């Protein structure tokens, strides 16, 4: 197959065209996917900012029906920590060091459900068999924090949501229904990230921004589209000759 353009002729094979189109579709799709991710990250940041400025949710007065709708929103509640039934979320890394997130049930006054409060991060000791001391020294009747999903994991292995038999119980993946069955009362399907000013907490660095910014996703998209353009230029250049070369 030959095409004449600007005194040059390009000769293509069907196999070459097929490979070129396949690569172009792949590169363009990757570029549009990065643009989509940028839009999602922008919406997420806007959601975080709007939630931070919204009125705090009072868990003693209203139970959120949709945790996603109130994600990152401030929250407060009166009640009491259940210090005898705490959970350590394993494989949590902070500043390059392994450790746990400490999740403590908070029994709300007059409520039928409790909420898991993420009291922060504690380091893993030299001996994994030694559980860190996460006891509560002072009585806490009021908590303030923000609503968020439970800690995420990259790869979820089978049985990772099953906690150990001992207390505090260690768990890899937080499943509120599984943990509810273990402690004997209902839990909300979200956690409260304890405010940094609240007592009885550990290291708390609750992130406001995303790991990859919207701008970086746009930069990645430009790279993919740039590769698509480069591929096109090379494809036509390698396939083209001056018209005189064909007629000589």
Give pLDDT tens digits for 2-24: 555 445 555 667 787 888 889 99
User: For residue range 213-239, what is the model confidence (pLDDT) as tens digits?
Assistant: 788 889 999 999 999 999 888 887 777
Tell me what the mean pLDDT of segment 44-49 comes to.
74
User: For residue range 83-141, what is the model confidence (pLDDT) as tens digits?
Assistant: 999 999 998 888 889 999 999 999 998 767 899 999 999 998 777 888 888 999 888 88
Q: How confident is the model at residue 243 (pLDDT cuts 50, 70, 90)?
A: very low
Mean pLDDT of the chain: 83
Tell me what the mean pLDDT of segment 149-175 comes to.
84
Tell me what the mean pLDDT of segment 39-46 comes to.
80
Tell me what the mean pLDDT of segment 163-182 comes to.
92
Query: Hey, where are the domains in the chain?
Result: 2-45+212-247, 56-194
Question: Which of these ranges, 67-71, 126-130, 181-185, 239-243, has the smallest mean pLDDT?
Answer: 239-243
The encoded tokens of residue 57 equal: 């949710």
Higher pLDDT, 108 or 208: 108
Higher pLDDT, 211 or 41: 41
The encoded tokens of residue 194 equal: 């304890």
User: What integer pLDDT is reported at residue 238 of this predicted model?
Assistant: 75
Q: How confident is the model at residue 33 (pLDDT cuts 50, 70, 90)?
A: very high
User: What integer pLDDT is reported at residue 3 of this predicted model?
Assistant: 52
Question: Which of these ranges, 51-55, 92-96, 240-244, has the smallest mean pLDDT?
Answer: 240-244
Q: How confident is the model at residue 192 (pLDDT cuts 50, 70, 90)?
A: very high
User: What integer pLDDT is reported at residue 1 of this predicted model?
Assistant: 54
Q: Which of 25, 100, 115 is nearest to 62 (CA)?
A: 115
Residue 244 has pLDDT above 60, yes or no: no
């Amino acid at each position: 197959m030959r095409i004449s353009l600007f005194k040059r002729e390009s000769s293509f094979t069907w196999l070459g065209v097929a490979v070129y189109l396949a690569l172009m579709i792949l590169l363009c799709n990757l570029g549009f996917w990065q643009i989509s991710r940028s839009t999602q990250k922008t919406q997420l940041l806007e959601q975080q900012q709007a939630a931070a400025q919204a009125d705090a949710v009072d868990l003693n007065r209203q139970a959120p029906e949709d945790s996603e709708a109130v994600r990152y929103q401030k929250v407060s509640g009166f009640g009491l920590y259940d210090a005898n039934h705490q959970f350590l979320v394993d494989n949590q890394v902070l500043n390059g060091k392994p450790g746990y997130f400490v999740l403590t049930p908070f029994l709300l006054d007059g409520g039928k459900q409790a909420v898991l409060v993420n009291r922060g991060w504690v380091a893993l000791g030299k001996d994994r068999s030694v559980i860190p001391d996460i006891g509560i020294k002072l009585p806490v009747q009021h908590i303030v924090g923000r609503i968020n999903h439970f800690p995420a994991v990259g790869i979820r292995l089978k049985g990772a949501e099953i906690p150990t038999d001992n207390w505090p119980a260690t768990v890899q993946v937080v499943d509120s229904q599984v943990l509810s069955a273990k402690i004997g009362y209902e839990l909300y399907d979200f956690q409260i990230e304890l405010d940094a000013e609240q007592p009885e907490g550990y290291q708390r660095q609750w992130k406001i921004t995303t790991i990859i910014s919207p701008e970086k996703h746009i930069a990645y998209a430009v790279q993919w589209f740039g590769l698509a353009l480069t591929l096109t230029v090379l494809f036509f250049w390698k396939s083209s000759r001056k018209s005189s070369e064909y007629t000589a």
